[in-house]
């Protein structure tokens, strides 16, 4: 495993984790190499995200029965799960070393890490620090709707699950909590606060000389904030979600370590919505399996139809052959009948009777003459 020190950027999808990670990379921390990063997309010019570690996160989520948009049960017992050992999911050091081939300060972000912090904090070299970035829930939901055509209700439910699990996983970890909108509105000021906090951590202090705050702030564009909070946003939220937003506002800034307990519990509504997403995914898989089975059967029918056509062609060829043989046989029978008739006519002819003695003498001579034998 790369020694680091490691800085994690933890936050929900569409919450600005890419922009913050890119800024920290411009500041001077190592980011995954271009050969390991996901390709740019229309909605994100650079994800600053490791493909190798991302695929490994997908495996971890799958072992827990989920995906990024269908999070697994938040009560999954990570530490005691026998299905998350190296023999089952592989060695996390392999994708980590692919993302960060050289030791030194590294910044890694992957929104799925919100759901996987118990696993990663058990495997990453300590001490680990984190920047927790959050964005207004409806802005996140609208961004997911624009990118993935996801219903707003599903997006808000995912926001609640990701942010609750991310905060719960970072309890006891040195963490800087910040709102995405505040970084876009004042990139120089907010990134200076984060850089000063990193310098205060022993594992980063010795590497801080030469950090380029100007380049970091310049990498943040105001155009990145496409979905902005609206005045009526609170009307979309449940009490549990509004309480979580208030908690996030109250803990903004540096923590050594993060120790503020989460308020309340996840809303029953969000749990039900995400449960329905799991059920819908199960039905979709069953539908896809039936579609594939139907496609396989249709393909088999096409193969059988082709074989039947070949057999029909063979039967037709044999029928033609039999017809030809039958016609030939009839012709042969007719020839034999004509030959028999000719034979009878010849035997009954006067010339046949008159030459009979000569034929007998010829036969006797051939029998008595050895040379003729």
pTM above 0.85, yes or no: no
CATH 3.40.50 for domain 6-266, yes or no, is yes
Cβ within 8 Å of residue 44, ≥6 positions away = 18
User: Does 373 score more than 60 pLDDT?
Assistant: no
Q: Which pLDDT does position 62 carry in this prediction?
A: 93
The closest alpha carbon to 272, from 164, 142, 156, 145, belongs to 156
CA dihedral sign, ordered 176, 179, 180, 182: negative
Q: Which pLDDT does position 224 carry in this prediction?
A: 60
CA dihedral sign, ordered 235, 222, 48, 43: positive
Q: Which pLDDT does position 112 carry in this prediction?
A: 96
Please answer whether residues 162 and 70 qualify as being in contact, where contact means their C-beta atoms are separated by less than 8 angstroms: no
pLDDT tier for residue 67 given thresholds of 50, 70 and 90: very high
3-class secondary structure, 72 = coil
Digit-coded pLDDT (tens) for 185-206: 999 999 999 999 999 999 999 9
Please answer whether residues 212 and 26 qualify as being in contact, where contact means their C-beta atoms are separated by less than 8 angstroms: yes
Please answer whether residues 12 and 135 qualify as being in contact, where contact means their C-beta atoms are separated by less than 8 angstroms: yes
Q: Which pLDDT does position 87 carry in this prediction?
A: 83
H/E element, 173: none
3-class secondary structure, 21 = helix
Instruction: Specify the pairing of strand 253-255 against strand 128-134.
Output: unpaired
pLDDT tier for residue 236 given thresholds of 50, 70 and 90: confident
Q: In this prediction, what percent of the chain has a pLDDT beyond 90?
A: 66
Q: How far is the C-alpha of 82 from the C-alpha of 236, rounded, in Å?
A: 40
Mean pLDDT of 35-43: 81
Q: Which pLDDT does position 368 carry in this prediction?
A: 67
Q: Where are the domains of the chain?
A: 6-266, 271-353
The closest alpha carbon to 120, from 99, 145, 144, belongs to 99
Q: How far is the C-alpha of 188 from the C-alpha of 27, rounded, in Å?
A: 11
Q: Which pLDDT does position 325 carry in this prediction?
A: 84
């Amino acid at each position: 495993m790369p020694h680091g020190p490691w800085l994690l950027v933890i936050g929900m999808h569409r919450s600005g984790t890419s922009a913050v990670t890119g800024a920290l990379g411009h500041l001077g921390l190592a980011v995954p190499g271009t050969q390991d990063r996901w390709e740019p997309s229309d909605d994100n010019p650079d994800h600053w995200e490791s493909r190798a570690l991302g695929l490994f996160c997908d495996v971890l989520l799958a072992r827990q029965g989920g995906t990024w948009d269908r999070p697994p049960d938040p009560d999954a017992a990570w530490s005691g799960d026998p299905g998350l050992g190296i023999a089952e999911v592989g060695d996390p050091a392999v994708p980590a070393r692919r993302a960060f081939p050289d030791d030194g300060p590294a910044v890694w972000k992957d929104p799925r890490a919100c759901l996987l912090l118990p696993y990663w904090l058990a495997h990453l070299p300590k001490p680990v620090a984190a920047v927790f970035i959050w964005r207004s829930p409806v802005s996140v939901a609208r961004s997911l709707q624009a990118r993935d055509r996801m219903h707003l209700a599903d997006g808000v439910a995912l926001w609640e699950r990701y942010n609750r699990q991310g905060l719960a996983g970072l309890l006891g970890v040195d963490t800087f909590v910040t709102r995405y909108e505040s970084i876009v509105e004042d990139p120089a000021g907010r990134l200076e606060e984060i850089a000063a906090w990193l310098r205060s951590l022993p594992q980063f202090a010795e590497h801080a000389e030469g950090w380029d705050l100007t380049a970091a702030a310049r990498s943040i564009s105001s155009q990145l904030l496409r979905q902005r909070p609206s005045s009526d946003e609170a009307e979309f939220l449940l009490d549990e979600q509004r309480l979580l937003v208030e908690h996030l506002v109250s803990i903004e800034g540096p923590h050594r370590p993060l120790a503020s307990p989460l308020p309340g519990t996840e809303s029953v509504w969000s749990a039900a919505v995400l449960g329905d997403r799991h059920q819908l995914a199960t039905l979709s898989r069953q539908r896809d399996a039936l579609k594939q089975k139907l496609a396989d059967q249709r393909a088999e029918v096409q193969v059988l139809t082709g074989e039947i056509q070949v057999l029909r062609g063979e039967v037709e060829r044999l029928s033609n052959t039999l017809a030809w043989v039958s016609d030939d046989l009839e012709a042969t029978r007719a020839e034999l009948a004509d030959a028999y008739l000719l034979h009878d006519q010849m035997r009954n002819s006067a010339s046949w009777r008159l030459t009979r003695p000569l034929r007998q003498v010829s036969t006797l001579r051939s029998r008595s003459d050895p040379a003729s034998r």
